[in-house]
Structures are given as C-alpha cells and as structure tokens.
Structure 1
Amino acid sequence: MTRRAVIAGTGSALPKRRMSNAELAERVDTSDEWIVERTGIRFRHIAGEGETTATLGADAARTALDAAGIAPNAVGLIVLATATPDQTFPSTATKVQTALGIDDCVAFDVQAVCSGFLYALSVAESMIRAGSADVALVIGAETFSRILDWEDRTTCVLFGDGAGAVVLKAEDSEDRGVLSVSLHADGRHNSLLYVDGGPSTTGTVGKLRMKGQEVFRHAVVNLATVLGEALDRAGLSVADVDWVVPHQANRRILEATARKLGLPPEKVVVTVDLHANTSAASVPLALDVAVRDGRIRRGDLLVLEAMGGGFTWGAAAVRY
C-alpha cells in the first residue's frame, strides 16, 4: 500500500455581493451580450468591506473541515494559494490559521496566480506522502477585484472574488487520492499577463494587465498537454476520466481544450458563468460546487488543471 493524500472534504466561500453583467455595463463601456459571447461569464462576486482573502479562505476552510468531519486542531499544515494576500507579510495562511483557532501548525502561502491551487496541492501532497503532516488544508483564495483597472473593459469584466478549499488526509491506498501532479512555468511570457506594480519595483500594488488573445493561444495548448502528462504519470488515459475540473477563465478556453483532447463537453465542470475568473480559487471552488450538487462522487477520476500568469500551468489526476 502507498501513503497518499486523499480529499476528505471540500468547501468554498463567496463575497455577499454578486455583480451582473448589466450592473457592470453601468460602469464601463460593455454589455451583457458582449461579455457572454466572448467569455461565457454572467456574474461575479465582489468583496466588500470586511471581506478579504483571509476571511474568504477561512470560511472555505471551515466548510471543508465540516464536510470532512475533522476538527481544526487536527490540521498540521495549511498551504494557501493567492496572488492577492491581505498583507505583503505575514502570510495569509497564518491569518486563516488564527481564524480557525489553530495554535500551532505549518502555514504558508504559495504564489503561482491562477495555477496556485495546483502548486499548493502538489506541495501539500508531497509533505503528506513524506510523513510531514497527516491532515492538510489546501486553500485557493483571491480578491482580484482590488487589483483590477475598472476602466479597462477588456480585463475588469473577466474576474471575481472567492475561495475554495480541500482537506487532504493521509491514507494507505493504491488508487485513491492524489495520483499524480504535473507542473510547469515559463517566465518568458511575463508581459502577456501581469500586474504593473510590486513592493520591489514601484512600491505600489499595481493593476492587472493582459493580452487576451495571446494568453488564449498559449492556454489551449498548455492545458491540453499538461492534462495528458498528469494522466500518463498515473498510468491512465483520457478515456478513464470522469470529470475535468478546470481553471474557470473563459468558456471558449474550456471548450477548445476539451475539443483538443477529444473530451465530451458534459465531462467538464463549468462554473465560469456564475463566478468569472477567481484565479487560484477557481479550481477548488468549481470542485466544491460539483461535489455538492452530486455530479462528482466517491471513486470518480478527476483531472484538475489550470494556467496563470508567469506563465505557470499544471494538472493533477485525483481519484476522489
């Protein structure tokens, strides 16, 4: 038997305010038809006063722990993926730790933008497999609305805020849990998707900038390739997959990736219409939605995949 990291529970959290395309059209030169046709997005949630990456992450973590039937004091590791931390330091993970009432555990952040959850999952899974932890919280949480240029209609329509979390628990199993992870990065493409600020360069937070068509072109190729890599490493094929849980960036990217792989669209979990692009929160948020509505069931083979600024990209094969 092999020591593996098994998903024991999932959770998610969204800000109270939900913004429709029509409401957004009152702020910038756009329309519901324009946004839906190009992205599939209809709504996004926007963090309000008192709602931060840490509060959303903590709420998602509580829901995941409840689903797993595990008390917070059993958690030995928190890995939180975000590009929008509450503070430059300390880590947002330590704020979640405090909010959950955990006095002592390993807690840190991972920054790989939209691929962040896959990177965090890989780190936590490796630590569990190595015996460094028995129970881990892996969280993706973002408040991207606070780094958007609300006068740039090509970017501000695409993003929303939210959080998703999974509880990983060590279990001896041959075919259950995280079976494989494949990760990549290529910093040559920095200028295609980035934030034009930072403590070391401008001393400001900055705003998100993106060349959408170029990102789309890279995304379809990279996501299809890395999904195949994750399956190959697990000794599986596309035909074995029950569900693909992708980063929710754009419906056209999801559809194009599925076509490239020969996957039927009904096997792809799509929540981009409800939440828009929530960066590192997007994969665990979509996973939680599909678990709670009954689509994803125990024993299903899942492939989680994402690509983000950097570029970074990755995929994981998971037997749920």
Structure 2
Amino acid sequence: MYSRILATGSALPARRVTNDDLAAELAREGIETNDEWIRTRTGIESRYFADPAAGESTTSLAVAAARDALSASGLAASDIDLIIVATTTPDMVFPSVAAHVQAALGAAGCAAFDVQAVCAGFIYALNAADAMLRAGPYRAAIVIGAETLSRVIDMKDRSTCVLFGDGAGSVVLQASSDPGVLAARMYADGRYDETVLGLNARIEHGRTAGDPFIRMDGRQVFKLAVEGLTESAREVANLACVKTEDVALFVPHQANLRIMSMVAKKLGIPEERMVKTVAEHGNTSAASVPLALDRAAKSGMVRPGELVLLQAVGAGMAWGSALVRW
C-alpha cells in the first residue's frame, strides 16, 4: 500500500506587501532598507500579511487551502479520516488548528492534530500521513502547512523582518496500490538551538515570557540548510532507486533563492525544473512547500508519472525530503 497526492490547494491573505511597501514601513521605525538590498540577498520581492481585523488567521488560511484541495480531489469531507496541520503560528495553544479545520470542513470524527517542526513542518506532516495511510486503517488525508509569521517578526530587525510572509498550502492524499510517495525522511539536530534560529517565548502565568520575535543567525542557517537538504535529497533518491538528475520538478523550501539554486546545482537538477515562488511569497515556513507545489500543479509544470522532489529545512534544526511519483 502507498499514498498518492490527489490534489493540491492554497490560500493567501488579501494584502500583498512589496519590498517598497516594507521599506516605507521600516523607515517609520528608523530602519533603512530598500528593494535592491532585499532582492539581491534573498530573491524576495513581495510577501503577504494576514489582517486579523478582516478575519484572516492561521486557521482561516488553513481552511481555505484545505477546501481548495478537497474540491479538486473529487472527495467529500466525509471521505477524509485524517487531517494534519503543520504550523508554528497556531491561533491558540489549544485546541489545535487541525481540530478547527475539521469542524469547518464538516469532517467530524476523523483524526486531527498539529505538527510543529517550523519550516520543515510540511515534510514532517506529509511523512506522518504517508506512514499512517500505508499502515491503515486511514484511507484519505488532508495535509496542510499554514502560517501567519507576520505576527512574530520584529519590524526593528532588518535581518529577519524582510524574509517572512503568511499563507497556507495543502494536499489531499489517498491510500493506493499505485506508488505515489516513494520515499520520505525526516531529520533533526537539537544541538542547533534557538541561538541559530528560534522564537524563545512562552505563556507563563498569564503573560508572555521570553523574546516573542524570530531571531536567526543567517550564515549558520545557510550552511546547515545547503548541507542538510543536499544529503537528504540523495538519501530519498537512493531509497527510491532513482537518481536526483531524474527529478522532473524540484520543490524546495522557499526561503532564499541562493540556497535553492545551490542545492539544485549540487543535485544535478537544472534550475528550470525548480519551482520558484520565494520572490512573490517570501518565506512562509511550513506553508512554503505546499504553496509552491500548488502553483506548479495548477500551472502544468508537472505531468503524471514524473518525479517530484519536495524538501524543507527549519529551526530545530529540522529538515527532510520526500520523493513523489506524480
């Protein structure tokens, strides 16, 4: 038994924030930057920010992305018996975002839980869903990556506030006798703690304790990302008995164009086979890979039977790859 991706979906907030928009906002905080500075270092040109006043939240984006994928899958909400949401920015400590998605879809009774592996979250969630579908008794799953990172960026920290955006992406998986997810692996190394990449905050006796903003050592993250993504891609290719050069569509974590291009080069994947949405979306953490995959699927970048490589890396450090037969 395998699991196959039946459909993809996505959702973005209404507000698009260009580099010029962001530079103007930062100037009011006394922080100097511009479009060229951001683009040349990251490849990012814009991102989307959720508006809580308009009812936009991690949950609302997750629900919209799930509905988008579900409507394209040919399945009904009653067919879904597993919902996994990867997120670092839930709207509350509990209940889970997945539980709220379940209620909104009308899929009461199915298993629903969240996964927290930051930017690697969607790969972790996909791996978990694949394993549960293979083992049974689950037959159909919705896997979602959803984030509202705009709530946890420090607008006085130019090194991080230009990087992140909000959004959600999803896939519908179904148990199948035909190979779909060929191989998937997850990795972590907790020695690289919040001093490398983290958000050191918690609720304590009714107050927020610690630093409530994302902090990052960009150079260290760059090095670890390239090494981890390259090696994990080679491992899943070996497990699936294929070569990385055979990958028809490469969907990397959309964090930094230079990281993406370097990994593609090391794997022998031509850059024209790589999905690039980082310019438009920025780094949307767990939503990054499914957002990019949905863009590729809907634009016809991948055809049935082709190999698709998905991978992501984030705080923890956590990383992973999945090789899929479309």
* TM-score range for the pair, normalised by the shorter chain length: over 0.9
Structure 1 gaps of 5+ residues are none
Determine the C-alpha separation between the residues in 1 that align with 2:108 and 2:92: 20
Alignment of 1:237-248 (within 5 A): 237-248=243-254
Task: Tell me, yes or no, if structure 1 residue 199 matches structure 2 residue 203.
Answer: yes
| AA at the equivalent of 1:249 | A
Task: Tell me, yes or no, if structure 1 residue 85 matches structure 2 residue 90.
Answer: yes
Q: What is residue 238 of structure 2 aligned with on the other side?
A: 232
Give the one of 64, 70, 75 matched to 2:75: 70
Give the one of 246, 256, 262 matched to 1:250: 256
Give the one of 152, 159, 180 matched to 2:183: 180
Residue 289 (structure 1) shift: 0.1
Q: What is residue 324 of structure 2 aligned with on the other side?
A: 318
Determine the C-alpha separation between the residues in 1 that align with 2:24 and 2:303: 41
Alignment of 1:120-139 (within 5 A): 120-139=125-144
Normalising to structure 2: TM-score of the pair? 0.95
Count of residues paired in the alignment: 316
Give the one of 104, 108, 114 matched to 2:113: 108
Alignment of 1:19-168 (within 5 A): 19-28=17-26, 29-49=32-52, 50-168=55-173
Normalising to structure 1: TM-score of the pair? 0.97
Q: What is residue 29 of structure 2 aligned with on the other side?
A: none
Structure 2 gaps of 5+ residues are 27-31
Give the one of 11, 14, 17 matched to 2:12: 14
Higher mean C-alpha deviation, range 201-210 or range 240-249: 201-210
SS of the residue 2:146 aligns to? strand
Determine the C-alpha separation between the residues in 1 that align with 2:181 and 2:234: 16
Q: What is residue 304 of structure 2 aligned with on the other side?
A: 298
SS of the residue 1:37 aligns to? helix
| AA at the equivalent of 2:38 | I
| AA at the equivalent of 1:309 | A
Alignment of 1:272-291 (within 5 A): 272-291=278-297
Runs of 4+ in 1 over 6 A off after TM superposition: none
| AA at the equivalent of 2:251 | V
Residue 213 (structure 1) shift: 1.0
SS of the residue 1:83 aligns to? coil
Residue 200 (structure 1) shift: 6.0
CA RMSD of aligned residues (A): 1.2
1:87-130 CA-to-partner distances (Å, cap 9, x unmatched) read: 11111100111111112110000000000000000110011000
